[in-house]
Structure 1
């Protein structure tokens, strides 16, 4: 047995971890994919969904914990430091975003920067940074998520294109050096 983000799994070389990074609160909708993913896992035990993030709403977190306990192939992991989270992301197959509403998802941007394919719910905030089939995949239902995930698993060219274009997007539109300079200038004008 080995430990993947605190979740015990059999040592399987071909395990595909889909990582849903979010603060545990209703707007992030971490249970949106639960049933469809559990059904997919029953058909393909090599796919797992790990939900990870800080407790924001304790009552909702208890609901998530109970729902995950009753599901197969879906796990809830404790919050990690940024360094640990980035390491976990790099060991995962894809990053998942299931938010009902999103601003500019730091998790999506970090995943692109780390070379991880992104599957995001098709809401305006996600669609503003994820171009469908170019920098990531946008889905509108749990069934569409599973269908796109299956395609991504089977299509190495698609995986490579999403990773390459995601990294290019980060370099072009969210270059950390350029953003730091811009924010420094902004702060200087406020003083």
Structure 2
């Protein structure tokens, strides 16, 4: 793959050394990596012309603002690597902060060199206003606790000790939480939206609700009907085994990649 890599390349600086190291990694993996100084480009249009002239297929940038701001809108996928200036300085400036947020929305991935950098970025951009609203609402709601991220093994242990797993999302593709609950033999109550209804068959592999009142009724029904709970658990477990097998998924992706290899030879 032909890649553009943007960074501020002042000689003998940490940025330049890091960029060269990353470029070496990419080229060792068989890619063509064109490393360019972000300061050499004055506008996105210059980047666009360069991408076309060099037949570039993807891009990366070191620093979310200094390099990343030049990459959106060119029709090629890109990723960014956070720099200290991003999170220590640029984030404090309103306009730069807004630009960096937009870059992150389009980036395919973002790399942070330390856990503290990752946590700072998450606090700044995982929608802080909404996060504050959720935390405030939870504090005012009796019986509801907000638990942060945890290791998968710990999460599964918690789920196994729960009466049920609730998915109240208003939009879903395919909920991994629902599938994990079924696999762990825990009943599922999910909002009746297309993504959830594609996985949960009401009364068979789980229960679907459309509003808070229906959720309360179904939760009480589930809690008072051990036979229904047992049936839902068994059906959910069997559904996951039949349609979401880890081994079948692995085999399928392996087959798809072999198809790509075959087409590249043609």
Runs of 4+ in 1 over 6 A off after TM superposition: none
Instruction: Compare the two structures and name the one with the higher helix fraction.
Output: 2
C-alpha distance in 2, partners of 1:136/1:176? 21
C-alpha distance in 2, partners of 1:125/1:89? 21
CA shift, 1:103, in A, is 0.3
CA shift, 1:91, in A, is 1.0
Write the mapping of 1:134-145 to structure 2, written as runs, cut at 5 A.
Answer: 134-145=204-215
C-alpha distance in 2, partners of 1:120/1:57? 24
Q: Residue 128 of structure 1 is aligned with which of 198, 223, 239?
A: 198
1:115 aligns with 2:179: no
CA shift, 1:117, in A, is 0.2
CA shift, 1:57, in A, is 2.5
Write the mapping of 1:46-85 to structure 2, written as runs, cut at 5 A.
Answer: 56-85=126-155
SS in 2 for 1:74: coil
CA-based RMSD of the aligned residues comes to 1.3
Q: What TM-score do the two structures reach when normalised by structure 1? A: 0.70
CA shift, 1:168, in A, is 0.6
CA shift, 1:68, in A, is 0.7
Q: Which residue of 2 aligns with 1:20?
A: none
CA shift, 1:71, in A, is 1.1
Instruction: Compare the two structures and name the one with the higher strand fraction.
Output: 1
Structure 2, gaps ≥5 residues long = 1-121, 262-266
Q: Which residue of 2 aligns with 1:158?
A: 228
Q: Which has the higher contact order (CA 8 A, sep 6+)?
A: 1
1:186 aligns with 2:256: yes
C-alpha distance in 1, partners of 2:207/2:137? 26
Q: Which residue of 2 aligns with 1:43?
A: none
SS in 1 for 2:189: strand
Q: What TM-score do the two structures reach when normalised by structure 2? A: 0.50
C-alpha distance in 2, partners of 1:79/1:61? 14
Structure 1, gaps ≥5 residues long = 1-53
CA shift, 1:79, in A, is 1.1
